Amino acid sequence: MESLLAKIEYEISFLVEALGCKIVRVAFLNASGNRKTLQVMIEREDNTPVSIEDCNNVSRAVSLKLDVIDLIPDHYVLEVSSTGIDRPLVKPEDYCRFCGEYVVIKTCKPINGQKIFKGILESASKDGIKLGLQAPDGNGGFVELSYEEIRGAHIDGFRK
């Protein structure tokens, strides 16, 4: 599945970039019934908000390209969307870009009995991150995680 998503991202990335946007994530979402949903999440290259027109333009271009290259064997629905306020952190570059932001990190396995960590993204490197934990009593400490330990992460848009 990962290799299919990587192929799709590779094939459509130049189209998305030509329209002034960049891909944040390409994923198949859980859908009810027999239809898959292919989500292409975008943001603008100039970091201004993504408009409905941006989503429509990217959707049309990507849809045509995917029809031509025919990589997805089953029926699917294409969804092009912006990141929203809880922007996912997917690539190491995302973590570097959003240092200083309040984030939510979910780990693959419990670390000290915990799988969800909230705090300030203190630093990021090519190998992992350092998170300043936010505890109710004000004493949080830090946790360092490799990217392999992280199942999912996003900016906590409500904490801005």
Reading the block at residue 141, the tokens are 């400490």
Splitting the chain (160 residues) into consecutive groups of 10 residues, what average pLDDT does each group show? 89 97 93 80 96 97 95 90 94 95 96 92 96 75 95 86
pLDDT in the model for residue 160: 58
pLDDT in the model for residue 74: 83
Q: What domains lie within the chain, and their CATH numbers?
A: 2-82 (3.30.300.70), 92-159 (2.30.30.180)
**What whole-number distance in Å separates Cα of residue 44 and Cα of residue 52?**
12
What pTM does this model have? 0.85
